[in-house]
Amino acid sequence: MSVQNSKEIDMEIKESKNAYYIGDSIGSAIAVITYQPKGEDQIVIDHTFVKEEYRKQGIAHQLLMKVVDYARSENKTIIPQCSYARDVLTKHEEYKDVL
């Protein structure tokens, strides 16, 4: 299913402080994932959101993978407080290194 918009949406993932998002700005993002530092070696993923008309396209997963890549590159572990992140990260063996 494709979404018809009069304006083309830039699907590039952008970075903000403790967040990744898609959209013109984090305030008007069509999708966002946020995380908070906890101590020196952990981050807490506290929120994932994708506007309803953009769901079921893998966008939340792409944003989550940006946080996973960040955690791996910084040798941090993730506390998946958000239900989406928890579901994905705890059900797949390939993410055990960041939990």
Nearest to residue 39, comparing CAs of 84, 68, 89, 79? 79
Pairwise CA distance, residues 2 & 98, whole Å: 34
Residues 6+ positions from 58 with CB-CB distance below 8 Å: none
Q: What is the residue-level pLDDT of the chain in tens, covering all 99 positions?
A: 344 443 456 789 999 999 999 999 999 999 999 999 999 999 999 999 999 999 999 999 999 999 999 999 999 999 999 999 999 999 999 999 999
Pairwise CA distance, residues 9 & 54, whole Å: 11
Is domain 13-91 annotated with CATH 3.40.50.10140? Answer: no
State the SS3 of 24-56: CCHHHCCEEEEEEEECCCEEEEEEEEECHHHCC
